[in-house]
Structure 1
Amino acid sequence: MHNGFNPLVPRPIDKPTDVPMGADADLSVLDDVKIFVPPADPAQWPAWRAQITRWREEAAQRLDYSPAMYDRAEATWAQSCFTVAQVWLWDELLYDAEAMAFTPEKLLADATERLGGFDGVVLWHAYPVIGIDDRNQWDYYRQVPGLKELVDYFHSRGVRVFVDYNPWDTETRRSGDDVTELAALIKELEADGIFLDTMKEANPQFVAALEEARPGIALEGESKLPLARVTDHSLSWAQWFADSDIPGVLRAHWFERKHMQHHIRRWNRDHSQELQSAWINGVGLMTWEIVFGVWVGWNQRDAATLRRMLPTLRGMSRVLVDGEWMPLAPLASPAHQASVFASRFHTGDATLWTAVNRGTHTYSGPLLCETAAATDAGPALDSATSWADDLWFDLATGAQLDTPSSPVTIPAHSIGGVLRVCRAWEAEARDIMAQVAAVQWTENAEFQHRRALRVASAPEPSGHTPDAIPAHVRVDAGEYTLTVEYRMRETGMYQGAPYVNEWKPLPPRLHDVRTLEREVTVPRPLAVASREVTNAEFLAFLEATGYTPRTEQSFLAHWDKGSTRTPYGQPNAGTEDQPVTCVLLDDAHAYCAWTSGVLPTEDEWQIAGQNARATASDVQNSFQRLTPAVWNLTNSEHSDGRSRFVFLKGGMDYLITDSDWYFDGGVRKPEFSAKYLLPGFGMARSANIGFRCAWPLATNEN
C-alpha cells in the first residue's frame, strides 16, 4: 500500500455512482461517472429508471448530441463487436519464431475453441520494447514484413483489426506529425479501428483527419470516455469499472445504445464481474491473455461463460441495440430472493432477459411469471398472454422452455436468462441456442499457470585454458545468491503476472526499481570476455565463415552498405572498434561458436561484472564497456509458449526520459537486468544491443 492507496480495491473514481432522486435533482453530475448505482429497495427501481432516462434526454439536449456517426453503413460493425482481443503482435500463437512466419489461423482456432472467437483484434506492437533505440511507433508497424497480408487474413475471417496509437511516443525519431502518420498507416493497412492507448479521447480535429483518411474508422478510448466524445468515438474500453452489488448501468452505453464498450480488468484471474456487467448491459468484453509478455489467461469457468454469452450477443445484437432496454426488469419472486437480476431488451419479434446470479449457489427456478401478477419487484410480463404462441429458451443451457415461467438454470456468479422469439425467428433462435447448448459448462476457476522455460542453445564447446582465450573475467563454478535489480514494468520478470488481481497499479508501483534474489548454479568455470565483440571482429567472422543470417532484416544495419567486402557491407570508417550491434541471438550464438565460446547467461554476466568490480586493479580481470555503451545479449532466451524474451545486461548510453513507458535506458551496474520481449523477423535487432562472448574453462586448469 502506497500513501494510503490499496491497489487491491477500486479507487473512488472507479466506483459506481448513486443517482440523485427527485424531480428537482441536478442530473448533470452524472455526465462524468462510469456506472449508475441502483437503489437497494426494488420499489424504487421504476423511479430510478425514470431518473436515468431523464438524465439521458437532458444530456443529449445540453450537448446538442447527434448519433449520425453510428448510422453510417461503414461504421455499424462496431455495434456488434462484442469481443476484442489485445494481441501482442509476436504472440507465439500468432507468430512462429522458428519458421519466422505469421500463423493467424492458430490464434483464431485457439480463440474459437476456448473463448468463442474474436470479433476484433488490437495488434499491440511497440510497447514494451520501444525506446531500445530511436525507432518510433510507426516503424514498429511499417518494418513488419507481411503485416498487410496479416490484416487481410483477419478480414477474410470476419475479424476487425485495430492498430494501437501511443500518444506518449514523443522522443523517438520524428518522421511526421502523429495524425498524419496514423492516417497514412490506417489507410495502408485498411485498419478498421484505432485503440487510443492511455487516451480517453481524441480531439475533434484528430478524429476528422482520421475519418478523411479512412471513412468509418472506429476509435476506442481507454477507460472513461467523456460524454461529449460519444458522438465521434464508437467504442470505449471499460477498464477499471467497479460494479455495485445490485448490477448497475454503464453510463456511456445507456446514453448511446450503439456505443460499444468492452469490459476488462487485465490482471484479474476471475472475470465473473466483468462478464456479468457486460451481459446485463448488453455490451462486450476485451480478452487480454498476453499482457505485454505476461500470461494472464482466462480460467476455464470464465471462458465457458464467455462462450455461452457470445452466440446470443451476436445473434441478437439488433435487439440489444434497437430494443427497449429496461434495467432491473421485474422477475419472479424466487429469482429476486436468490439475488438474481436481469435487464430486459424488447422488440416485437424478440425479447431478451439477460440475467446474472449474484448469489453463491446455482439458481434453478422460474425467472419470469407467466401472468402479469404483481411480485416483489412489480409486474412480471407486459401483456404476457399475447406471447402465447411464441418460443421460449433458457439462455444458460439453450433448452426450449414449455412456458415463460418454466425453471431456468443460472450458475452462481454467472449468467443466464430467457429468450422469447416469434415464430418467424424460430430458425435463427434455434441456431443460436444450439451454439449455447454445445458449450460444456465447468465450475473450474483454477488459474492455469505457464512456466517460462529457458530455450536451449547450441552444445557447449570443450573447456579452454586461460592463456588460450582473450582478456576475460573468471567466474568459478559453484552456488551463488544474486541480488538482481530491475524496473517493475508490466512485463514482469521471470515468472507470473506482476500485479495479480490488482485493481490498477499506479506509480510508484508501476515503474519503481525493485530487487529479487536468485539462487543460481554455475556448473563449470567460465571466462567472460572483458569487453563486447567489435565491428572489426564481426567482420572477420563474416569473411572467415561466409555466415548467412536466417533473416537479413536490419542485419548490421549500421554498416556501410556501399562496400562489397561482404554481402552485408563493412563497418563505417572510424567505427571498427565500436561494439557490433544490429544482431539477433542467432547471430551472437554463431559468432561465439566460431570462437569456440558461448554467450554468457545473465547470471554469469552479472557475476563477472561484480568480480571485476571487486578486483579493479587487475588488468586481466577488467570488465570494460566499449563506446558507445550498448546493452549486452545473454544466453537467457525464455518462452512460455506464448511469449519469448531475453535478459539484457549492462545498459546503454541511449536514454529517453520523457515517458516511463519507454524501454530502460542509461548505463547500468552489473546487478541490473532488463527483460526484452523479442519481436519477430529481424526486428529484435537494435543499434543499441550487442554482446560479449564467454569460454568454458577446462576443469583441470590451475
Structure 2
Amino acid sequence: MLLWPVYPNIGVDNRNQWDMVRDLPGGVAGVRQLIQDFHARGVKVFFPTMPWDTGSRDVGTTMHQATAALMAEIGADGVNGDTMDGLPLAYRTASDATGHPVALEPELAFKDDGMLAYNQQSWGYWTTPLVPLVSKWKWMEPRHMVHVCDRWATDRTNILQDAFFNGVGIESWENVWGWWNQFTARDGEVMRRIATIYRAFPDHLVSAGWVPHVPTLHYGVYASEFPLQGSTLWTIINRTDWDVNERIMRVAHQPGQRYFDLWNGKEIKPLIREGYAELSMPMEAHGYGAVLRVDRDAHVANLDATLKRLALQAARPLQSYSSEWKPLPQTMTPVEATPPATSQPEGMVRIPGAVFDFQVHGIEIEGENKPGLDVQYPWESVARRGHVHSLAIKPFYIDKHPVTNAQFKAFVGATAYRPKDAHNFLKHWIDGSPKAGDENRPVTWVSLEDARAYLRWAGKRLPNEWEWQYAAQGGDGRLYPWGNTWDAAMVPAPAKGRELPAPEPVGQHPQGASPFGVEDMIGHVWQWTNEFADEHTRAAILRGGSYYQPQDSYWYFPQAYKLNEHGKYLLMAPSKDRSGGIGFRGVKDALPL
C-alpha cells in the first residue's frame, strides 16, 4: 500500500513533505497505528519522497536523512522515489543507519544499472506492443519487483498481461490524487486470479532460471518459464482478439511428469510424443493461462487446495465480466441560504441579482480532461475540467475583505469554539490570540468546518463558487477584478522564500477591487468555497490564488489568479486541511430591491 499524503496539495503553504505526513490524522502516533493495522493484515506500507520539494520549509538536514528518520519513526516498510530515476545510495545508507531499513522503489528507470543493487523495487512505465516487453531489471535480478504502471489507463488489460508475462506486479492506483480510476469488473477479476497464482507459487516467480519468450504454437500467444527443482511454472498471455484452446505449447517431457492448467484449476492430459508434451487449454481472447509441471515424486504444497480455489474462480469466464469503465458521480455539499439581510450589513458589499455566464476550468497539473476529473456541478452529468453554465444569481451581500484574525477572535471569545480535531487550528496565534499587529490580517489555519462554524455564528455562509466569481468578475468576463491585464501592483507582493510570512493586512489594494467594490479577491489568500465528494474522495474548490509562491518546482499546488480558473484542494481531515495559505469570506442573502 503506497500512501501519498503530499502531492498535489503541497505548496498551498510552506509545509514540506515530512510535515504533510506528520499532519495526517492522529499525527505520528496515528500514522504508526495505521501502519500496524495494515501489518496485521499482511500488507506493507510505503510513502513517497519528493526530490523536487526544495521550495517549502527547510527541514534542516538532507532529504535522505529526513526521509529515513521519518520512515523509522512511523514504522513504514518502503519509500517510493517520486520522479526519481533510481534512489541514490545515500537513501540506502541513511535508511540502514536508522536500524529500520526500508525497501526503495524509484518511479522511473534507473539511470545507472548499479542502482539495482540497492533499489529493491521499481515502477515500469512500459509501452505495450503485441510482443510483450521483458523487464531488464528482473532479467538482471529475478528477485527485483517491478510494478507495471499506467495511472490513466481505464482498461488495464495490457499492463496486467505484461505484468503476468514477466512475473511481476502492477501499480493498481485506483485513486489518482482524487480522480477515482476504479478497476473494471473484468480487470478486477483478472487481478484476483493472478494474485491467487502468485501467492501460491511465489518461489517460482523469483527463479534464477527465468526464461521469457519460450515458444508457443499460436500467433499472439506468449509465455514465460519459471523453473524450480521439481516443478516449472509457465505464465501465458493471449494478445489476440480470438479464443484459442488447442496445442498452446510444446514442452520437453520426462516420464512421470504431470501438468496442471492452473488458470482453470484442473489437470491436463497432454499429448506425449517424441519426448515432448503438447499442452491444450482454453484461453479467452486477451486472456491468460498458467501451467504447472510437477516432476515424478515431487511435492507441491497445497496444490489440491490451490486448484480447487482456481477452479471456482474460473467457473465464470472473464468475458462475462463487464469491461465498461464509468467515472464516479460527485455531489456538491449544499450551501444553506441565510435569513435575508433587512439592511446593509457592516463590512459587506451588495451584489445585485443577474443571469451570470459562469465559465471556469480546473488547473490540476495532471489528468488531461478525463471524465471524473475536477468537479461535477449539480447541473452537470459528470465531473470534468472545463465548466460553462448560465445561471440566475439572486442578490446577496459578500464580505468586502477576507475574515480577519480580529473577527475570528471575537467568534472564539463569544462561543469558546474549539474543534474536536484541533491540530493546526489557528497555528499562527499565540496563547489563543493573534500576534500583536496581526489583528487585521486574514485569518488562516482554519478548516472548512471552522470557517462554517464562524459563519453560522455571524449569520452568514460561504459563497458558492459562482457567487464568488460573479462578485470578483462582474458581468463582462474579465480575467482579473480590475480588468484583463495583469498588474502586480493590484495584489500583495508574493512571498517566494521557504518560510511563510503572515499575509498582508486586508484593504491595502483598493485599486484592485472588483467592479462591485469587493477587495482582496486574488493574490492574497486562497478562499474556501464549495465542497464536493464522491464515494471515496472529498475536495474543496479554492478561489483567488495566494501570495505564497514556493519556487524551484512545477509540482507545487498551482496558482489560480485568473477569474476563470480554480484550484481543487483534496480534503482528508481538519488537521491536514488547515493551511497557512487559506482563508475565507462570508456571504449573506439579500432581499430584492
TM range (shorter): 0.7 to 0.9
Counterpart CA distance in 2 for 1:238 and 1:475 is 55
CA RMSD of aligned residues (A): 2.6
The letter of the residue matching 2:449 is: D
- Quick one: which of 463, 472, 476 aligns to 2:340? 463
Q: Residues of 1 paired with 2:90 and 2:407: CA distance?
A: 53
Aligned twin of 1:238: 124
1:473 CA drift (Å): 4.0
Instruction: State which of 533, 539, 557 in structure 2 corresponds to 1:663.
Output: 557
Q: CA deviation at 1:411?
A: 1.5
Q: Is the 8 A contact 1:361 1:412 kept in 2?
A: yes
In structure 2, what is the Cα distance between the partners aligned to 1:596 and 1:488?
Answer: 34
- Supply the AA of the counterpart residue of 1:632: Q
Extract structure 1 runs of 4+ deviating beyond 4 A.
491-495, 612-620
Question: Residues 388-467 of structure 1: matches in 2 within 5 Å?
Answer: 388=257, 390=258, 392-403=259-270, 405=278, 407-422=280-295, 424-439=298-313, 440-443=316-319, 444-457=322-335, 459-467=336-344
Q: Which amino acid aligns with 1:348?
A: Q
Shift in CA distance, 491/137, structure 1 to aligned 2, threshold 3 Å: farther
TM-score by length of 2: 0.85
In structure 2, what is the equivalent of residue 582 of structure 1?
445
1:364 aligns with 2:245: yes
Q: 1:601/1:247 Cα in 2 relative to 1: closer, same or farther (>3 Å)? A: same
In 1, Cα distance between equivalents of 2:38 and 2:196 = 20
Instruction: Specify the code of the residue in structure 2 equivalent to 1:436.
Output: L
Q: Secondary structure at the match of 2:286?
A: coil
User: What does residue 325 of structure 1 align with?
Assistant: 210
The residue type paired with residue 409 of structure 1 is P
Out of 319, 337, 340, the residue aligned to residue 221 of structure 2 is 340
Counterpart Cα distance in 1 of 2:212 and 2:514: 77
* Residue of structure 1 in register with 2:43 after alignment: 159
Q: Give the superposition deviation at 1:214.
A: 4.1
Distance 1:314 1:429, change over 3 A: same
Q: Is the 8 A contact 1:473 1:530 kept in 2?
A: no
CA distance in 2 between partners of 1:153 and 1:663 (Å): 31
* Contact 2:104-2:121 at 8 Å conserved across structures: yes
Q: Please say which of residues 130-139 and 407-416 is displaced more in the overlay.
A: 407-416
Shift of 1:278: 1.1
Instruction: Write the mapping of 1:91-490 to structure 2, written as runs, cut at 5 A.
Output: 121-144=1-24, 145=26, 146-176=30-60, 177-214=62-99, 216-225=101-110, 226-239=112-125, 241-322=126-207, 324-331=209-216, 333=217, 336-337=218-219, 339-368=220-249, 380-382=250-252, 384-388=253-257, 390=258, 392-403=259-270, 405=278, 407-422=280-295, 424-439=298-313, 440-443=316-319, 444-457=322-335, 459-468=336-345, 470-478=347-355, 480-490=356-366
Q: Give distance in 2, aligned partners of 1:681 and 1:465.
A: 34
Alignment match, 1:50: none
- The letter of the residue matching 1:162 is F
- Letter of the structure 2 residue corresponding to residue 123 of structure 1: L
- 1:155-189, CA deviations, whole angstroms, 9 ceiling, x for partnerless residues? 11111111210010001111222122112111112
Matches of 1:475 and 1:250, distance apart in 2: 63
Q: Which residue number in structure 1 is paired with residue 528 of structure 2?
A: 633
Out of 383, 389, 396, the position equivalent to 1:519 is: 389
C-alpha displacement of 1:462: 2.0
The answer to whether the 8 Å contact 2:512/2:520 transfers is no
Which residue of the partner structure matches residue 589 of structure 2?
696
> Are 1:536 and 2:406 counterparts?
yes
Q: Does the residue aligned with 1:174 lie in a helix, a strand or coil?
A: coil
Please report how far the alpha carbon of residue 679 of structure 1 lies from its aligned counterpart in structure 2 after TM superposition: 3.1
Q: Is the 8 A contact 2:65 2:91 kept in 1?
A: no
2: distance between equivalents of 1:640 and 1:437? 36
1:366 counterpart SS class: coil
The alpha-carbon distance between structure 1 residues 356 and 159, as it changes in their structure 2 partners (threshold 3 A), is: same
Percent sequence identity is: 33
Partners of 2:482 and 2:587 in 1: CA distance:
18
Asked if the contact 2:522/2:561 (under 8 Å) is kept, the reply is: no
Whole-Å separation in 2 of the counterparts to 1:532 and 1:347: 69
Residue 592 (structure 2) pairs with residue 592 (structure 1): no
Aligned mates of 1:576, 1:627 — CA distance in 2: 20
For 1:524 and 1:494, locate their aligned partners in 2 and report how far apart those are by CA, in whole Å.
33
**1:322 aligns to what SS in structure 2?**
coil
| 2: CA distance, partners of 1:576 / 1:528 | 20
Is 1:678 the counterpart of 2:544? The answer is no
- Per the alignment, do residues 552 and 675 of structure 1 end up closer, same or farther by CA in structure 2, a change over 3 Å counting? same
Matched letter for residue 154 of structure 1: F
With over 3 angstroms needed to count, the CA separation of the structure-2 counterparts of 1:242 and 1:618, relative to structure 1, is closer
User: Could you tell me how far apart the structure 2 residues matched to 1:169 and 1:619 are?
Assistant: 35
**TM-aligned CA deviation for residue 280 of structure 1:** 1.2
Equivalent residue letter for 1:279: F
Question: Could you tell me which residue of structure 1 aligns to residue 416 of structure 2?
Answer: 546
Conservation of the 8 A alpha-carbon contact between 1:171 and 1:656: yes
Which amino acid in structure 2 is aligned with residue 531 of structure 1? Answer: H
Counterpart-to-counterpart distance in 2, 1:525 and 1:219: 57
Does the CA-based 8 Å contact 1:630-1:650 persist in structure 2? yes
Alignment of 1:609-624 (within 5 A): 609-611=472-474, 613=482, 621-624=516-519
| CA distance, structure 2, for counterparts of residue 419 and residue 425 of structure 1 | 12
* SS of equivalent residue, structure 1 residue 676: strand
1:650 match: 544
Q: Given that residues 161 and 191 in structure 1 are in contact (C-alpha distance below 8 angstroms), is that contact kept between their aligned partners in structure 2?
A: yes
Q: CA deviation at 1:263?
A: 0.4
Change (3 A) 1:271 1:494: closer
**1:619 Cα deviation from its structure 2 partner:** 10
Q: Deviation at 1:482?
A: 2.2
Shift of 1:620: 10
Size of the aligned set, in residue pairs, is: 535
Structure 2 CA distance for aligned equivalents of residues 628 and 354 of structure 1: 57
Contact 1:197 1:222 in 2 (8 A): yes
- In the alignment, is the contact (CA less than 8 A) between 1:647 and 1:674 conserved in 2? yes
Cα distance, 1:641 vs. partner? 1.4
